């Protein structure tokens, strides 16, 4: 061991919107953390009820037995007329609705769920429900697959690849929403110690249900001549997700939590960059995942011109990485560090972040344990240290918000947008501040501007005063003072970019969060909503094992 | 109705902001009501009553002026403003205790005492005419209901921590108070306008094309 320790990447580099909007899944993505655990602990999956008619209307139950506890998904199928199928989070009817239940539901539980889960946000849930969700069929693909299977044929591979899923979810609600159990109540269970594990478990089960459902409907239609979907084909299919603006504010509102996700990945990158020598096996595994990434990226379609250009460049970047490896840097002398350093000048941000995730692949023993630090034990509740002097506070602001102090906040373009919640939809919205009457309803989602305002007032006070005295006179700065103090122990908490400027793209914030879920195939439909795939390539519940729980994200290479 | 602590926290956050408090104080109110709920106390009625009293008035009238006794220029302290000040001045409490003047909805002050106790690693006792409470930041010992107004109170370090109230994982807020908070919470929502529709504020207007 040379003992060389690489440094963490600086927040001013990592926390830019353009980079956050280029992030990729990794060993520390929530889906992969879950499938790793399921395989390691050998969870047992059982379909305990499947009572649906030829239209897919009815109820099904799937149970999951872990080492200590059992959970159940209760799924309801509905017959939704085509004109009611909408990706909007505010829709009122769906093709299927789901709840993840703590334990095994009895008849009374199922009755209670049947009168609430199909209503989604309009229903009420109890401490027995962990997650509530719903999904719509991809109308284009669903009918094609049902018709083909019913007629005894396999569906057209090109059509399957183009969409990538049979159903997509439009919301997955956990953490106490609509009366469901609080995360604080279940966080001590090892299986939920990492964030969003219950949500990811539900989506994993939804994918299994969707496969069962499409084959069931095809069988009802085709009778004896119907066939099952080819298993390799089925495995390629993920669950789609359509995500709108609602997700973007999350990473600002939960800055301490988001810090822990980024910090875990950055520490993982640092550890791998510090590896002095790569063995042949480690290099081979990296090359394998690199080559399979090419297939993954080739399959990544988007109608969005900006994203398409990024994907094209990423394809080139993957070739450049391969050439760089082939050209010879050996496994000696901190090879991953040298590779990352090279990438900073040679690749696009999309390519750099893809590489940063890829180098973690051979090093599960070094990095997987970092998943244990990704939750936020404080739940965002941080006490302000009132004894801090204003001199110290100003240093803190210059260190973490220096970028914001340089922005001319009087320029209209820097404050062009305002985040608000509409009365009509009760969902986060993004408005044009200078053209609509929304400023008074603005949500606290502009830490940069707020920091600049607070800093201007701080400078008017004597540096020896305490922040406690300052806040007595300036309670309006309390919000951003708390954030600034949080940055002391959470350096990746803040986005180092203007979140209300004319140039801001909300999809960058969504992409950052979704990459930590483990999503792939980001397909922006505008600057403020995006479709993705979850679990594409993953084994189905009963097929997960330690041999396939890790590399399923990367498609097998086609000869 | 049984509610999650997350729901209680969210409505307190929105309602406090809707009543005109700064976001940072709304965050404190949310954490305070959740802290009380986690100890089996419904913070919604005192919060609703507080917001109704302070609504439309100048917050400075309700905010503490430091002194031998911390009092409000308007005569009655807001427990959120006073609580935030207490939490920020926690070290001062450790040295000599802090005395506050007349206070509205004083039960909302107790979570801030808890915050201060956790911050300085001490047990804090709150004494008012006719009663007292203790907290070490985690637990809260509070015999009886402190009622709607205190004439004054003293926060000081204590050596003893009596048996704390049992914890609670769910809340059952008073439904009337919940609705009153709901009305304040609505004020943070922007009415829909032609302009917002025109600008496509939400984005995901896609009808399923595939």
CA distances from B102 to A275, A322, B70, B142, B195 (A): 63, 72, 9, 19, 47
A320, A538, A64, A206 alpha-carbon torsion, rounded to 10°: 110
Contact (CB, 8 A) for B69 and B101: yes
Predicted confidence at residue B208, as pLDDT, reads 43
Cα atoms in the Cβ-side hemisphere of radius 13 Å centred on A375: 20
Asked whether the beta carbons of residue A478 and residue B7 sit closer than 8 angstroms, the reply is no
A175, A427, A467: residue with CB nearest B202: A427
Q: Cβ atoms within 10 A of the Cβ of A2, count? A: 11
Which ranges of A406-505 would DSSP assign to H, the alpha helix?
Answer: 447-458, 467-473, 478-489
Sign, Cα dihedral of A344, A347, A350, A355: negative
Q: What is the DSSP letter of A302?
A: -
**A164 torsion bin: left (phi>0), alpha (psi -120 to 50), beta (else):** left
Mutate to test the interface with A, among B88, B89, B98, B182 (most CBs of A within 10 A): B88
Structure tokens at A364: 């599960």
Q: Which DSSP string do the residues of chain B spell out, in sequence order?
A: --EEHHHHHHHHHHHHHHTT--HHHHHHHHHHHHHHHTTT---HHHHHHHHHHHTTS-GGGGSPBPSSEEB-TTSSB-HHHHHHHHHHTHHHHHHH-EEE--EESGGGGHHHHHHHHHHHT-EEEEEETTEEEEE-SS-EE--S---SEES-EEEEEES--PPPPPP-SEE---HHHHHHHHHHHHTTEEPP-HHHHHTTSS----B---
Tokens 């709607």 found at: B148
The minimum CA-CA distance between B170 and chain A, rounded to whole Å, is 8
Contact B201 A468 (CB under 8 A): no
pLDDT tens, residue by residue, B134-159: 999 999 999 877 777 788 999 999 99
Name the 3-class secondary structure at A145.
helix
Chain B: give the shortest CA distance to residue A479, in Å: 4
The string of pLDDT tens digits covering residues B192-201 is: 776 666 655 5
pLDDT in tens, B161-206: 999 999 999 999 999 999 999 999 999 999 877 666 665 555 444 4
Q: What is the DSSP letter of A488?
A: H
Compare all CA atoms of chain A with the CA of B3 and give the residue at the minimum distance. A179
- Count Cβ atoms below 10 Å from residue B73 Cβ, excluding itself: 12
Whether residue B5 and residue A184 make contact (CB cut-off 8 A), yes or no, is yes
Q: How far is B130 from chain A (nearest CA, A)?
A: 29
Identify all chain B residues contacting A475, using CB atoms and an 8 Å cutoff.
Answer: 21-22, 24-25, 59, 63, 81, 84
Please answer yes or no on whether B203 and A430 come within 8 Å at the CB atom: yes
Taking contacts as CB-CB distances below 8 angstroms, the residues of chain A near B193 are 436-437
Is A68 contained in some domain?
yes
Measure the CA–CA gap between A255 and A488, rounded to whole angstroms: 13
Contacts of B209 in chain A (CB under 8 A): 140
pLDDT of residue B143: 83
Q: Which residues pair with A353 in a beta bridge?
A: none
Structure tokens at A491: 């350096």
User: Alpha-carbon distance A240 to A170, whole Å?
Assistant: 9
Residues B46-99: pLDDT tens digits? Answer: 999 999 999 999 999 999 999 999 999 999 999 999 999 999 999 999 888 999
Q: Which tokens belong to A313?
A: 């460049």
Q: How many CB pairs under 8 A join A and B?
A: 182
CA-based nearest distance A344→chain B, Å:
33
User: B120: which chain A residues are within 8 Å (Cβ-Cβ)?
Assistant: none
Q: Which residue of A has its CA nearest to B6?
A: A176
All residues of chain A having their beta carbon less than 8 Å from the beta carbon of residue B115 are: 383
* The pLDDT value given to residue A307: 85
Distance CA A478, CA A56 (A): 53
Residue A273 belongs to some domain of the structure: no
Q: B202 vs A477: CB contact, 8 Å cut-off?
A: no
Cα distance between residue A493 and residue A259, in whole Å: 4
Query: Which residue in B88, B119, B191 is closest to A471 by CB distance?
Result: B88
Helix pair angle (A478-489, B23-37), 10° resolution: 70
Tell me how far apart the alpha carbons of residues B49 and B105 are, in angstroms, rounded to a whole number. Answer: 7
Number of domains forming the structure of chain A: 1
Contacts of A431 in chain B (CB under 8 A): 190, 195-196, 199, 201
Beta strands at B69-70 and B98-100: parallel, antiparallel or unpaired: parallel
Q: What is the pLDDT of residue A278?
A: 94
Per-residue pLDDT of chain A (559 residues; tens, 9 = 90+): 456 789 999 999 999 999 999 999 999 999 999 999 999 999 999 999 999 999 999 999 999 999 999 999 999 999 887 777 776 666 778 999 999 999 999 999 999 999 999 999 999 999 999 999 999 999 889 999 999 999 999 999 999 998 999 999 988 999 999 999 999 999 999 999 999 999 999 999 999 999 999 999 999 999 999 999 999 999 999 999 988 888 889 999 999 999 999 999 999 999 999 999 999 999 999 999 999 999 999 888 888 888 889 999 999 999 999 999 887 667 778 999 999 999 999 999 999 999 999 999 999 999 999 999 999 988 778 999 999 999 999 999 999 999 999 999 999 999 999 999 988 878 889 999 999 999 999 999 999 999 999 999 999 999 999 999 999 999 999 999 999 999 999 999 999 999 999 999 999 999 999 999 999 999 888 888 889 999 999 999 999 999 999 999 999 876 4
Kindly list the residues from chain A whose CB atom is less than 8 angstroms away from the CB atom of residue B204.
87-89, 242-245, 525, 528-529
Q: Do B206 and A429 touch (CB under 8 A)?
A: no
* CA-based nearest distance A223→chain B, Å: 27
Q: Is residue A466 part of a domain?
A: no
Interface test with B, best of A161, A182, A378 (most B CBs within 10 A): A182
| Chain B residues close to A468, C-beta within 8 Å | 85, 88-89
* A435 vs B contacts (CB less than 8 Å): 195, 199
Contacts of B2 in chain A (CB under 8 A): 126-127, 179
pLDDT at B61: 97
What pLDDT is stored for residue B206 in this prediction?
41
If one counts every other C-beta atom within 10 angstroms of the C-beta of residue B194, the result is 8
Cβ pair B204:A438 closer than 8 A: no
Query: What pLDDT is recorded for position A1?
Result: 45
Nearest CA in chain A to B65: A472
Name the maximum alpha-carbon separation found in chain A.
85
Q: Do B4 and A528 touch (CB under 8 A)?
A: no
In a domain, A516, yes or no: no
**Residues listed for chain A:** 559
Residue A223 lies in a domain: yes
Where in the sequence is the domain holding A196, given as residue range(s)? Answer: 42-244
Residue A70 lies in a domain: yes
B89–A427 CB contact, under 8 Å: no
Residue ranges per domain, chain B?
3-165+172-187
CA dihedral over A77, A79, A82, A88, signed as positive or negative = negative
């Amino acid at each position: 061991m040379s003992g060389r320790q690489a440094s963490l990447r600086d927040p001013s580099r990592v926390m830019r919107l353009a980079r956050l909007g280029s992030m990729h899944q990794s060993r520390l993505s929530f889906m992969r953390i879950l499938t790793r655990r399921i395989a390691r602990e050998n969870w047992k999956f059982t379909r305990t009820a499947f009572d649906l008619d030829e239209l897919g209307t009815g109820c099904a139950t799937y149970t999951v037995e872990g080492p200590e506890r059992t959970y159940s998904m209760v799924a309801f199928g509905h017959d939704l007329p085509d004109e009611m199928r909408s990706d909007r989070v505010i829709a009122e009817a769906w093709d299927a609705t789901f709840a993840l239940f703590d334990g095994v539901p009895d008849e009374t539980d199922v009755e209670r769920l049947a009168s609430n889960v199909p209503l989604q946000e309009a229903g009420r849930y109890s401490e027995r429900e962990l997650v509530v969700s719903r999904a719509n069929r991809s109308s284009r693909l669903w009918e094609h697959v049902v018709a083909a299977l019913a007629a005894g044929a396999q569906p057209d591979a090109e059509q399957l690849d183009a969409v990538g899923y049979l159903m997509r979810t439009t919301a997955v609600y956990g953490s106490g929403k609509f009366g469901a159990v609080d995360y604080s109540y279940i966080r001590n269970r090892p299986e939920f110690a990492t964030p969003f594990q219950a949500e990811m478990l539900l989506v994993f089960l939804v994918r299994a249900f969707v496969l069962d459902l499409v084959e069931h409907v095809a069988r009802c239609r085709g009778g004896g001549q119907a066939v099952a979907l080819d298993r390799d084909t089925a495995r390629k299919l993920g669950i789609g997700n359509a995500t709108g603006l609602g997700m973007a504010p999350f990473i600002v509102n939960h800055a301490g939590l988001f810090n822990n996700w980024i910090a875990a990945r950055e520490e993982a990158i640092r550890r791998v960059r510090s590896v002095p020598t790569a063995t042949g096996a480690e290099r081979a595994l990296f090359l394998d995942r690199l080559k399979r990434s090419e297939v993954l990226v080739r399959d990544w379609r988007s109608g969005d011109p900006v994203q398409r250009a990024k994907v094209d460049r990423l394809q080139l970047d993957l070739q450049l990485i391969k050439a760089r490896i082939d050209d010879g840097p050996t496994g000696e002398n901190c090879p991953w560090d040298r590779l990352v350093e090279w990438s900073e000048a040679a690749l696009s941000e999309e390519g750099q972040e893809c590489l940063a995730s890829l180098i973690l692949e051979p090093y599960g023993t070094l990095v997987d344990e970092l998943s244990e630090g990704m939750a936020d034990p404080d739940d965002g509740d941080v006490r302000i240290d009132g004894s801090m002097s204003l001199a110290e506070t100003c240093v803190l602001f210059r260190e973490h918000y220096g970028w914001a102090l340089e922005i001319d906040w009087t320029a209209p373009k820097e404050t062009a947008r305002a985040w608000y919640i509409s009365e009509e939809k009760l969902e986060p919205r993004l408005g044009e501040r200078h053209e609509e009457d929304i400023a008074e309803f603005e949500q606290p989602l502009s830490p940069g501007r707020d920091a600049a305002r607070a800093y201007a007032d701080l400078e008017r006070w004597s540096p020896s005063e305490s922040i406690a005295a300052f806040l007595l006179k300036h309670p309006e700065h309390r919000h951003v003072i708390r954030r600034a103090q949080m940055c002391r122990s959470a350096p990746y908490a803040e986005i180092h970019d203007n979140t209300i400027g004319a140039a801001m793209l909300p999809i960058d914030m969504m992409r950052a969060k979704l990459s930590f879920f483990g999503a792939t195939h980001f397909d922006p439909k505008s600057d403020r909503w995006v479709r993705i795939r979850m679990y594409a390539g993953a084994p189905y519940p009963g097929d997960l094992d330690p041999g396939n729980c890790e590399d399923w994200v990367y498609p097998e290479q086609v000869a | 109705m049984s509610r999650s602590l997350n729901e209680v926290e969210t409505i307190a956050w929105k309602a406090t902001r809707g009543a005109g408090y700064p976001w940072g104080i709304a965050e404190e109110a949310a954490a305070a009501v959740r802290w009380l709920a986690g100890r089996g106390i419904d913070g919604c009625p005192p919060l609703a009553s507080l917001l109704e009293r302070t609504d439309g008035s100048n917050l400075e009238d309700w905010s503490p002026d430091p002194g031998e006794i911390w009092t409000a220029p308007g005569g009655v302290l807001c427990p959120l403003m006073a609580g935030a000040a207490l939490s920020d001045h926690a070290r001062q409490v450790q040295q000599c205790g802090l005395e506050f003047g007349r206070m509205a909805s004083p039960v909302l002050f107790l979570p801030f005492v808890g915050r201060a106790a956790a911050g300085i690693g001490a047990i804090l006792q709150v004494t008012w005419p006719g009663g007292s409470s203790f907290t070490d930041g985690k637990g809260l010992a509070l015999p009886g209901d402190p009622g709607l107004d205190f004439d004054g109170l003293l926060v000081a370090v204590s050596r003893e921590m009596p048996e704390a109230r049992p914890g609670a994982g769910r809340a059952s807020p008073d439904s009337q108070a919940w609705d009153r908070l709901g009305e304040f919470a609505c004020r943070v929502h922007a009415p829909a306008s032609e302009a917002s529709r025109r600008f496509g504020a939400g984005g995901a207007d896609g009808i399923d094309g595939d």
